[in-house]
Amino acid sequence: MFDHSKFHLLEPNFERPVFKITDQHKNQILSLLREIYPEENISATLQELERTMKVYYAYKSEEMITWEKSFDPEERFTEQDIILITYGDLINKDGENPLKTLAHICENYLKGVFSAVHILPFFPFSSDRGFSVMDFEEVDPRLGGWEDIEEIKQDFRLMFDGVINHVSSKSKWFQEFLNQNPDYQDVFIVFSTRDEISEDHLKLIVRPRTSDLLTPFHTLNGTRWVWTTFSKDQIDLNFHNPMVLVKVVNILLNYVRRGADIIRLDAVTYLWHEIGTRSVHLKQTHAAIKLFREILNAVAPHVGLITETNVNHKDNISYFGNGFNEAQMVYNFALPPLVVHSFYNENTRKLTEWAQRLRFVSPTATYFNFLDSHDGIGLMAVDGILTEEEIQSMILRVLEHGGFISYKSRGDGTDTPYEMNITWYSAINREDVDEPLELKIQRYLASRAIALVLMGVPGVYFHGFIGSQNDSEAVLEEEERRTINRKVINFNNLAEAVLNPESATYHITRKLSALLAKRTREKAFHPNSPQIVLNVSENLFVVIRTTPDKGEIILTVTNVTSKICSLEIDKKYLTPNATDWYDLIEKKQYQFRGNKIKMEVTPYGIVWLKAAVTH
Amino acid sequence: MSFPVKQNAEKNLHIIELPERLTQKNSEELRAQLKNMVEESKYRLVLDMMATKYIDSTGLSAVVSRIAHLRSNSGDIRLAIQSDFVKELFNITNLNKIIKIFDSVQEAVASYV
């Protein structure tokens, strides 16, 4: 049945009373604008932002307005939330739009397993697999149309990418700049000569690429040098111009109108540029994210922001702000490399120590616990958590597993490892080792279980969901290391693998689906359910999750080794009254008398022991 | 079948001579050979790729298939490559940042102390 509370109107309804911003929101927006533009007269900007919000509001259905009144931000994400990450055209079926194929797969196979779908940029683009957007308002016709996105929206929440750091060099905006249209002169960061930024200043700027920062373009009025953080095809936007900010807000609200429930702020670290600084994590960048949140809180409170910042852990979590005023979710970038490290060394010490330091953010903000995505396994976040030797050792193991390594410039002429390019299945399992498939599957599930038990919302990349192996050939063909994990899958081949008991895909899709579905049924896995990470064994990762009312408790244990490991836990960490426990994974009853829980955990075993607490 | 191996007693290392093409057809042999050599505690290796004019992704992956094992035992695998095409593939994949590549077998051998 069509649920009108999920969908906006196709045309704005200006007959209704116009949206009126509350004083509280208005004052907060003003204050943030002053923080970003202390030197500017911001009244025109505020007026334009208000107009944009009013127009957006006119697209809201009555059902949506009513529903939103009862929206509880503390329940934005619950234990039922697991996000599938996928390209819109990852699965290809002859004679069908890829987005329609995706919609069909989601509807028929993924309901009850995933609650939301992150469709990576599906707009017309010129490079970087969608991340150099040419037109923010249209669906790439090669993928499908808005109607396909709406079809997925029927059963899933949607996450869209706000690629707002840059636009494609083929976009209308940049083409108008090249035409020297006066309206577009301040939209980009432009220099007349390359020497306008000194070598010292260039070295200071932090970037994840080794390409030149400034790219020359021929314009109507001669050559101009343009700021390009990522590539010569991705032109950075100039947020010093308040009208760029307004344009971006308009794009984000357009995404909301088109169905976005979560907006991923791509590469947002680099949003504000300031010569003479490192141009990352600047206070204006944080203020801009806070402003986006404030605008959404005012006009579309059901929409959350997630920041994607592949940087060290401390800087990464700074995007939570005070827990209430910036991103509602942050990619937990340290998690994937720490899980890989744990499995390679059959040792959880570093993972456990790090997880013990993870703090509850706030009732309205939490971690995005992903292991794999369309990009590689980032290494920036474990800087200072793993030693250089540990990182180096992990890198060599990844190479042995058929992966590759990408680097970024340190700015002093040397490079540093930036990410490991490998599929999650190949990272965890060597393809050339003669092991029983069953063992490989169990190891794989154990690795995934770690992301499921931690506080936050889990994310699974489609290639991880089906257990894809490396596509190394594509790396050589496209000369792009990230393509190792971006293979377009033929629908018929996928269907065959899913039905073939000899394939890893057959077992992984079934067992992982079952594991994910189990998680969605347990309130103890709600992002606001406290966690205690226990340091009881270097072979095991042990996390206790308890509902806020202490009514339910789950003891989770993951064995990262190929050996049977003993577990002994003092019941003081649990509830003193519980003697009867039930393993949600093996569906077995346990009784633990006395003061300790003692058990043997099988190689790569996963145990989720649940006790109903008696008060 | 395995690829010819020469021992350099002075440097305590082994040189494996690779053919003109290292592809899916023969890279498994290299993989197996490197595995055996590691099991025989032969940790200091040179791959003589002077004749190698073509390598595919399976070949690249075989070359590094024991690199962690070798280095964790104070050994290494170093390459002698003549073909610009083959060198370029090591550049594209960034493997050149991890593996030492030389223009001749003599230089690769001499790099070991």
Model confidence at A592, pLDDT cuts 50, 70, 90, reads: confident
What is the predicted pLDDT for the residue at A358?
Answer: 97
Chain A residues 454-493 with a CB less than 8 Å from chain B: 472-473, 475-476, 479, 481
- Give the mean pLDDT of A158-175: 98
Q: How far apart are CA A328 and CA A339, in angstroms?
A: 24
Residue of chain B nearest A396, judged by CA positions: B68
Please tell me which of the candidates A402, A406, A432 has its beta carbon nearest to residue B94: A406
- Burial of A524 from C-beta contacts in 10 A (0-12 / 13-18 / 19+): buried
Residue of chain A nearest B66, judged by CA positions: A400
What is the predicted pLDDT for the residue at A14?
Answer: 97
- Concatenate the DSSP letters of all residues of chain B into one string: ----EEEETTTTEEEEEP-SEESTTTHHHHHHHHHHHHHTT--EEEEEETT--EE-HHHHHHHTTTHHHHHHTT-EEEEEE--HHHHHHHHHTTGGGTS-EESSHHHHHHT--
- Which positions ≥6 away from A27 have C-beta within 8 Å? none
Taking phi over 0 as left and psi of -120 to 50 as alpha, with beta for the rest, B108 belongs to alpha
ipTM: 0.97
pLDDT averaged over every residue in chain B: 97
What is the predicted pLDDT for the residue at A242?
Answer: 97
Cα B40 versus chain centre, distance: 17
> Would the CB atoms of A415 and B97 count as touching at under 8 Å?
yes
- What is the share, in percent, of chain A residues with pLDDT greater than 90? 90
Residue A351: CB atoms within 10 Å: 27
pLDDT averaged over every residue in chain A: 95
CA angle A415, A420, A424 (to 5 degrees): 175
Query: A613 pLDDT exceeds 70?
Result: no
Residue of chain B nearest A421, judged by CA positions: B93
The Cα of B62 is separated from the nearest Cα of chain A by a number of Å equal to 8
The Cα of A606 is separated from the nearest Cα of chain B by a number of Å equal to 28
- Give the mean pLDDT of A370-382: 96
Superfamily of domain A531-612 in the CATH hierarchy: Golgi alpha-mannosidase II (2.60.40.1180)
Residues of A that are catalytic:
266
What is the predicted pLDDT for the residue at A578?
Answer: 79
Model confidence at A413, pLDDT cuts 50, 70, 90, reads: confident
- Give the mean pLDDT of A413-419: 88
Contacts of B66 in chain A (CB under 8 A): 400
Query: A103 pLDDT exceeds 60?
Result: yes
Task: Specify the number of domains making up chain B.
Answer: 1
For A310-349, write each residue's pLDDT tens digit: 899 999 999 999 999 999 999 999 999 999 999 999 999 9
Query: A501 pLDDT exceeds 60?
Result: yes
Sketch the domain layout of chain A as residue ranges: 172-235, 531-612
What is the predicted pLDDT for the residue at A237?
Answer: 98
pLDDT tens-place values along chain B, 113 residues long: 799 999 999 999 999 999 999 999 999 999 999 999 999 999 999 999 999 999 999 999 999 999 999 999 999 999 999 999 999 999 999 999 999 999 999 999 999 99
- Give the mean pLDDT of A269-287: 96
- Give the mean pLDDT of A566-581: 83
Contacts of B61 in chain A (CB under 8 A): 402, 472
What is the predicted pLDDT for the residue at A113?
Answer: 96
Name residue B89's amino acid: L
What is the predicted pLDDT for the residue at A5?
Answer: 84
> Would the CB atoms of B97 and A405 count as touching at under 8 Å?
yes
> Would the CB atoms of B56 and A473 count as touching at under 8 Å?
yes
Any idea which of A206-215, A301-310, A548-557 has the lowest mean pLDDT?
A206-215
For A444-494, write each residue's pLDDT tens digit: 999 999 999 999 999 999 999 999 999 999 999 999 999 999 999 999 999
Contacts of B29 in chain A (CB under 8 A): none
Largest interatomic CA distance in chain A:
83
* 3.90.1150.10, 3.40.50.2300, 3.90.400.10, 2.30.40.10: CATH of A172-235: 3.90.400.10
Model confidence at A2, pLDDT cuts 50, 70, 90, reads: confident
What is the predicted pLDDT for the residue at B21?
Answer: 98
Please tell me which of the candidates A405, A406, A472 has its beta carbon nearest to residue B61: A472
- Give the mean pLDDT of A112-122: 97
Domain extent for B88? 5-110
CATH number at residue B40: 3.30.750.24
The Cα of A133 is separated from the nearest Cα of chain B by a number of Å equal to 26
The Cα of B27 is separated from the nearest Cα of chain A by a number of Å equal to 12
- Give the mean pLDDT of A361-383: 97
> Would the CB atoms of A400 and B97 count as touching at under 8 Å?
no
